[in-house]
Amino acid sequence: MANDRPVVRTRFAPSPTGPLHIGGVRTALFNYLFSRHHGGEFLLRIEDTDRERSTDAATQGIIESLDWLDLDRDGQTVFQSTRIGRHAEVARALLALGRAYHCYLTPEEMAAERAQARAEGRQWHYDGRWRDRDPAEAPPGVKPAIRLKAPRVGETAIDDLVQGTVRVGNAEMDDLIILRSDGTPTYNHSVVVDDHDMGITHVIRGDDHLRNTFRQAQIYAAMGWEPPRFAHLPLIHGPDGAKLSKRHGAQFALEFREQGYLPEALCNYLLRLGWAHGDVEVLGRQEAIRLFDLDGVGRAPSRMDYAKLNYLNGVYIRQADDERLTREAVARLARRPGLVLDDQATARIRRLVPALKERAKTLEELADSAAFLAHPVPLPMQPRPLPCSPRRRGRCCAAWRRRWCSAALRPKHWTPRCVPSRSRPDASSARSRSPCGRR
């Protein structure tokens, strides 16, 4: 069966605990482009084992985001929660091989020891007290967890395709829990089992997972499985170098859609955010597949540049089909009150789209420019005050002149409104008028 698998098989494995972040979008894009470049497959796995935080709405949001970005997947979506039995099976296999053991340290004891370590200003590590202890000494009524017998000497090294060779001393890592006392698997164990069973050849993800990779490499070694190649991408920061947050602007995939960005423009921007290939800025999907490889990915964190994204989005809007832009503009205007989107209005918008798109940076700007074409006719008029009667006009103008003179005699209160227009160097031909319209 292994020989039937493609040379390259990647996966995108988000947790459905919230909207798909722009960093996750770039990770999915790089996995997709890498697999397509090498003629391989791109799979989706939803890591929903955290049942308290995972939601169906977040799962649908992830799938909707990938569909909007046109990142098509191969095969069926895998839900990690359906594979808990398989994860437990592998944990028990390690136990039978003598490469894992039962640990009777209760969660309460562990929490107390962690609190004591924090109070003493040190990091807590499990001391391996049950590693070589006789199970006959187990306290009655305590359900054990299963821990991996991790190597205690030497080092674990990862030959990362982006970060280079990265090492960590085994003494810095304790024996990892792979199956909790309630029978649920831990994240690092589940990921290894799923990646192996799915035939994943390359794991491409954010470098915030680098620490997990060392532990996962130990599980691969304990099972005698060949690990995939790893590539850890640098994170995306805000324009100021801080963690990307709401104050910087949109940060979730569907937020960019709502703000009027085209999916191909967003993908083009994210491709060039951390991957270099000469000075070419505008790359279509097929050209990106032809050129992309991991040797062009940098190690330094990237900074989100919303001005550059707006520029690229404007380029793609000008290149977009007019009928597509018409549909987008009409759909956005339909959500605004007071407009009439009948066939006549749609036809007017369609005729003007070629001109309107030349200045639009987003679809929202395009809709703003086209909104006047959907206003009801005749246009609603604002009521205006009636002009003064001939009898009152003289008194009105005299009162206005007295107010103007009084203001002019107080220089510290001068404003452009109380200075005669002919005295202002930038004034237009219009002169100051009294409330009744007389000069």
- Euclidean distance between CA atoms 433 and 439, whole angstroms: 5
Torsion angle in degrees (nearest 10) through CA of 227, 79, 23, 17: -130
β partners of residue 278: none
DSSP letter string, 194-261: HHHHTT--EEEEEGGGHHHHHHHHHHHHHHTPPPPEEEEEPPEE-TTSSBP-TTTS--BHHHHHHTT-
- Euclidean distance between CA atoms 264 and 272, whole angstroms: 13
C-beta neighbour count of 359 within 10 angstroms: 12
The dihedral region occupied by 182, where left means phi > 0, alpha psi between -120 and 50, and beta the remainder, is alpha
Q: By the 8 A CB rule, do 139 and 145 touch?
A: no
C-beta neighbour count of 399 within 10 angstroms: 12
Active site residue 246: yes
Cis peptide before 139 (omega within 30 of 0): no
Which residue's entry shows tokens 């801080």? 242
User: Choosing from 143, 149, 243, 246, which is the catalytic residue?
Assistant: 246
Catalytic sites, residue numbers: 246
